[in-house]
A = this chain, B = another copy of it.
């Protein structure tokens, strides 16, 4: 199993990406193909290559986080994002993991891999683990800012296959994110989507609200990519603040009572809280509906998040998610 990793993508590339890839190669026993500038990658990863079965694919161009996706993908055929996607297309890699420009990864996947027949809009499924032990998948987490009801109904199907295959949940529950529980609540998009989901052969439990996200009311939260992206970043922003406050509080308390700060973390469970809040612990998001396994990691991923994203890629490959979605016949 070869997993291609974008070594030029993300705020902490290439150093943290390479560190995460090395960790993943050791922990998950997967072969990593680092896609990026070969001179740097040989320096950073050279001595690990033989032993861990890592390889380097030279990508001379880099797509910046703020570049326009369409222009960047068209204008930089030798970028890590385009080359990484093409490794999947040509069967040379079983998955591509990138913390780079999300729009560019999306567009490259659309034009190079193409959509699974019948899927109108591939969507980003993001696992969020704020305060629940059961998996919660937010779909679409940002691929499609403007959606139609049929798109959202397909997101529900894509998410169902994903959660079913990855977590062995035979009939994952689905909630439609809205501004009220009642059927008639919502905007036109959710009202019409509700009618589609009601008659679909899915475990649709109805509308859910914002507070249900952290309560883990359903396994799958269906929403448009505009709302999904805002919700995800709202959670992230709050988590970042809390983590900062936790660390401040811990320091204050340790001083006041002359206790080692690790006591605070260990004994009152702050560590488990940090884990739930820290996006570095998340395994990345999966682009569902394209012909291949594409994993999107957070742009601010450090080594740990990259390692986890590669772990998710391995799971996605092993569980054959892409093939299972294809078998669902969306046409």
- Bound-complex Cα distance A270 to B179 (A): 31
- Of A142, A213, A230, most buried by chain B (CB within 10 Å of CB) is A230
A177 with B230, Cβ < 8 A, contacts A211-B237, A235-B238 known: yes
Interface size on A, residues (CB 8 A): 57
Q: Is A210's CB under 8 angstroms from B231's CB?
A: yes
Q: Is the CB of A226 within 8 A of B259?
A: no
A225 adjacent to chain B (CB < 8 Å): yes
List of B residues within 8 angstroms of A242 by Cβ: 242
Is B214 a contact partner of A238 (Cβ separation < 8 A)?
yes
Chain B residue with Cβ nearest A224: B187
A211/B234 contact (C-beta < 8 A), A130-B241, A252-B268, A253-B268 known: yes
Q: Which residues of B are found within 8 Å of A43, using beta-carbon distances?
A: none
The answer, yes or no, to whether A248 is at the interface (CB within 8 Å) is yes
A187 touches B252 (CB 8 A): no
Q: Is A196 an interface residue (CB 8 A)?
A: no
For A173-187 the 0/1 string (1 means CB < 8 A from B) is 000011110100111
Question: What's the minimum C-beta distance from A222 to chain B, rounded to whole angstroms?
Answer: 13
A234 pairs with B213, CB closer than 8 A: yes
- Which residues of A in the span 140-184 have a Cβ within 8 Å of any Cβ on B? 142, 145-146, 177-180, 182
- Taking a contact as CB atoms closer than 8 A, the residue among B142, B178, B211 that contacts A240 in the complex is B211
Residues of B within 8 A of A232 (CB): 210
Q: Contact at B257–A270, with CB atoms within 8 Å? A: no
Minimum CB–CB distance for A330 against chain B, Å: 24
Q: Which residue of B lies closest to A223 (CB)?
A: B230
Give chain A's interface residues, CB within 8 Å of chain B: 66, 130-131, 142, 145-146, 177-180, 182, 185-188, 190, 209-215, 224-227, 229-242, 245, 248-250, 252-253, 256-257, 259, 263-264, 267-270, 273
Q: What 6 pairs between A and B have smallest CB-CB spacing?
A: A210-B233, A211-B237, A210-B234, A179-B229, A249-B268, A253-B268
Knowing that A187-B224, A253-B267 touch, tell me 8 more A-B residue pairs with CB under 8 angstroms.
A131-B238, A145-B185, A145-B186, A209-B229, A209-B230, A213-B234, A213-B237, A230-B231
